[in-house]
Amino acid sequence: MIDFSHPDILDCIERALEEDIGPGDVTSQVCVPEDRAAHGSFVARERQIVAGTELLPVLYQMRGVKDLQIRKHSGACVDDREIIATVRGPARTLLECERVALNFLQRLSGIATLARQFADRVAGTNCRVLDTRKTTPGLRRLEKMAAAAGGITNHRMGLYDAVLIKNNHIAAAGGVRNAIERVRASGLEIEVEVRTRAELEEALAAGATHVLLDNLTPGEAAQEVRWIAGRAKVELSGGIDLESVRAYAETGADFVSSGAITHSARATDISFRLELE
């Protein structure tokens, strides 16, 4: 599971707190006595897969609160009204952290919940669901953690950790074979996106071990998978959603990818209930 002490994540939390609190929560400062203590509970308001609860201790410790208990870790399925986590501390601090904590939990749990739905739809096939780089700027590490917590497989984290030759790379390199030959020295597995049978034949002849077939119907994809006949791993992409993912998985492809898992997930409903000590 993800390292929540990673500098990228710490920076993300710090910026989120600064964005919301700024020089101070003026409402809590004028409404709530400084010495008032309270405890709060994060409560699911619908059935969901939670993600990001491990952020909460880090977030609250940045504001001086250390008394936090995680009851449901990332990847857990919770029902309506189940308590996800509890926290105790100065009432003012709990109030000023409330929205930032909920924003993280609701966004990440939404991704995990949608990811689990995708994973469930392909159950029983030999096909795995991949996420993509279509993430919220600055939140990629967290959003991919949430996708994995939902049960799918993370694809590359960024442009730096895997070779994926796409159509614009092919155009810039002067063709499929030229592109593959130029990246072969990297020693990394080569994945190449192909749009036609001619490009597919060229990619396989040049030694591609992983091909990405984009914007095909399930029937067209099944035909190409049969023709490839195991000579390369096959990934399918392009408009794949919950309604169609099963049909694509049943083509015999090794992977299907969907940007919707991170760019179109609906935030789940989670509330924060505060009570005085």
Which of the residues are catalytic?
A: 99, 134, 166, 193, 214
Q: Can you say whether the dihedral through the CA atoms of 3, 5, 8, 12 is positive or negative?
A: positive
Report which secondary-structure segment, H or E, holds 235. Answer: strand 233-237
Contact yes or no for 203/180 (Cβ under 8 A):
yes
Q: Which residues, 6 or more positions from 84, have their beta carbon under 8 angstroms from its beta carbon?
A: 41, 42, 43, 44, 50, 53, 70, 71, 72, 78, 105, 270
Q: Which residues, 6 or more positions from 164, have their beta carbon under 8 angstroms from its beta carbon?
A: 156, 191, 192, 193, 212
According to DSSP, the residues that pair with 16 across neighbouring strands are none
Secondary structure tally for the chain: helices H, strands E? 11, 12
Query: What span, in angstroms and rounded, lies between the C-alpha atoms of 166 and 240?
Result: 18
Contact yes or no for 52/109 (Cβ under 8 A):
yes
According to DSSP, the residues that pair with 276 across neighbouring strands are 38
User: Tokens 């002849």 identify what position?
Assistant: 205
- Three-state SS string across 72-131, please? CCCCCEECCCCEEEEEEEEHHHHHHHHHHHHHHHHHHHHHHHHHHHHHHHCCCCCCEEEC
Contact yes or no for 58/5 (Cβ under 8 A):
yes
